[in-house]
Structure 1
């Protein structure tokens, strides 16, 4: 059994259509009544959009119901599915906490309530029943005021046990008029010792080299190898990893076919730039991480060696993976212990001695 790491998954887009539909039927009939049946809702929820901006509007549908009271419901099912159906050992969930606070409150009160959201998500993610190492990435948002975004960065620093990084999300075309402010926010995050990633070079509108030096990983980043391959040398020198989410680019109209990603992988591999394959919005796409792997393989975008390199890169660039080795190495050590004579087995230790036995039962 192979265990995987998922580095780029949005809380808002992670809820699979059937789970969201059942929640609407039980708690929000005003939404479910807009659709004749589940099939109509699934078609609406998962169909491709023409632009990234149109695609991002779907997040507001889920954000409106992911209240503090409802978050444990969604997160339990999310972790359960990640463990049972995706073989995830590690998951970073990203979201904007401000957008889970009550809209009727004034801004200062919503900022104060963000801490409660982080604590709720953190507690709900710690599930012994489905042992997945889970951390949060708090997203600044291109449509939020600078005061709110700075509060999000400060909040990330207050909860190291739950939060592993900050991100910048929202429509990337809106970064242009706020570059100085965004650079300042990332510099502030760095001064607090917070890990950084950001939605950058996803579309042709999101190419801002000014922000690249402040990122430890790059959210998407596919336009670097596609349109700005001269930057790959710098990306490799910084040790930055691209978080590539294949299905997203078809859903947003950024790419017309999956095989266009072959250039992304080939140029990155040649330049020594790591890629972690991710899902982005598994619910909106109605797809799981192993399906992303299979699609890339069957469409000849990458081979098995490339796939293994990306899977290893995901654990290597994970902000909060607590072990020195990835699960495959730990499994091999454990299996070796079971095959050796007892006396010899007692002299063999798994890497770091840090194996969670529950993963393998």
Structure 2
């Protein structure tokens, strides 16, 4: 069994349609009653949107029902699916903790409640029956004030047992007017020793070179090879990894055809830029990580050897993977150390190309 690492998955967008529908039926019937039946809800929840801004509005639907009391319900089902259906050995969950706190509290009170949210997510993610190594990435948000975003950075530094890095989310077209502010926050985070990634170069409106020097990984970043390939040598020199989420770009209208990703992969491989393949919002897309792999292969976007390289990249660039090797290396050593197990891998079946 192959074991994978997932570096870019949003907590809000990770809830698959059926789980969210059942939750609405049991606890928020007013939301369920907006749809004739499950099929109508699934179509609404997973259909492509005309823009990234429209697509991001779906996050508010899930955020409105994710709080300190309900998060264990959603996370248990997330972890179960990730283990049983996706063969994940490692998972980084990203989200904005402020948006999981009660809206009727003051800003100061909501900031104070964020640590409780982080602890709830961290504890709910540790399941003996579904052993996946997990960590959290806290997202600053383009719609939140400076004080809240700085508090998110501070919280990430204060809780390293649960948090492995920070991000900036909320639509990369909104960063421009506050660029000095976000540069300052990223510089502050790096001075605190935090790992960093960020949603930039996802859309044509989100090309913000000012943030690139502060990022260890780049959330999406597809517009670098598509529109600004001159930046690729510097990205390779900095050893920055692109977190590519194929289905996202079709759901948001950023790309019209998956074949457009071939240029992204070809130029990155030629320039020596690492790519990790991710899902982004597996629930909103109703897909899982192995599907993303298969889709890229069947559309001849990448080869099997390139896929293997991307899978290795995910473990190498993971912020909290505790080993200096991926699971396949451990399993191979176990097979080599045990003659009985090694015999099981010796097969006389013909090979097929």
User: For this structure pair, what is the TM-score category when the shorter chain's length is used for normalisation?
Assistant: over 0.9
Q: Which residue number corresponds to residue 350 of structure 1?
A: none
Secondary structure of 1:196's aligned partner: coil
Q: Which residue number corresponds to residue 278 of structure 2?
A: 278
CA distance in 1 between partners of 2:136 and 2:339 (Å): 38
Secondary structure of 1:322's aligned partner: coil
**CA drift at 1:171:** 1.3
Q: Which residue number corresponds to residue 189 of structure 1?
A: 189
Would you say how many aligned residue pairs link Structure 1 and Structure 2? 342
**CA drift at 1:212:** 0.1
CA distance in 2 between partners of 1:279 and 1:335 (Å): 31
**CA drift at 1:341:** 10
- Establish whether residue 12 from structure 1 lines up as the match of residue 8 from structure 2: no
**CA drift at 1:324:** 1.2
Two-structure CA RMSD over aligned residues (Å): 1.0
CA distance in 1 between partners of 2:135 and 2:24 (Å): 27
Deviations 1:279-312 (A, max 9, x none): 0000000000000000000000001011000000
Deviations 1:225-280 (A, max 9, x none): 00000000000000000000000000000000111000000000000000000000
- What 5-or-longer segments of structure 1 have no aligned partner? 343-361
Q: Which residue number corresponds to residue 348 of structure 1?
A: none
Q: Which residue number corresponds to residue 315 of structure 1?
A: 315
**CA drift at 1:340:** 6.2
Q: Which residue number corresponds to residue 119 of structure 2?
A: 119
- Establish whether residue 42 from structure 1 lines up as the match of residue 42 from structure 2: yes
CA distance in 1 between partners of 2:334 and 2:164 (Å): 29
Secondary structure of 2:55's aligned partner: helix
Deviations 1:118-149 (A, max 9, x none): 00000001111100000000000000000000
CA distance in 2 between partners of 1:243 and 1:10 (Å): 13
Q: Do the aligned residues in 1 keep the contact of 2:335 with 2:341 (CA within 8 Å)?
A: no
Q: Which residue number corresponds to residue 269 of structure 2?
A: 269
Q: Which residue number corresponds to residue 165 of structure 2?
A: 165
Q: Which residue number corresponds to residue 303 of structure 2?
A: 303
**CA drift at 1:336:** 1.7
- Establish whether residue 219 from structure 1 lines up as the match of residue 219 from structure 2: yes
Cα distance change, pair 334–105 in 1 and its aligned pair in 2 (3 A)? same
- What 5-or-longer segments of structure 2 have no aligned partner? 343-353
Q: Which residue number corresponds to residue 359 of structure 1?
A: none
Secondary structure of 2:103's aligned partner: coil
CA distance in 2 between partners of 1:24 and 1:336 (Å): 50
Q: Which residue number corresponds to residue 232 of structure 1?
A: 232
Moved more, 192-201 or 327-336: 327-336
CA distance in 2 between partners of 1:88 and 1:264 (Å): 25
CA distance in 2 between partners of 1:121 and 1:208 (Å): 31
Secondary structure of 1:335's aligned partner: helix
CA distance in 2 between partners of 1:171 and 1:264 (Å): 21
- Establish whether residue 199 from structure 1 lines up as the match of residue 199 from structure 2: yes
- Establish whether residue 96 from structure 1 lines up as the match of residue 83 from structure 2: no
**CA drift at 1:178:** 0.4
CA distance in 2 between partners of 1:340 and 1:2 (Å): 21
Q: Do the aligned residues in 1 keep the contact of 2:140 with 2:166 (CA within 8 Å)?
A: yes
Secondary structure of 1:30's aligned partner: helix
CA distance in 1 between partners of 2:97 and 2:341 (Å): 52
Question: TM-score, normalising length from structure 1?
Answer: 0.94
**CA drift at 1:338:** 2.2
Q: Which residue number corresponds to residue 350 of structure 2?
A: none
- Moved beyond 2 Å, runs of 4+: none
CA distance in 2 between partners of 1:322 and 1:341 (Å): 26
- Establish whether residue 54 from structure 1 lines up as the match of residue 31 from structure 2: no
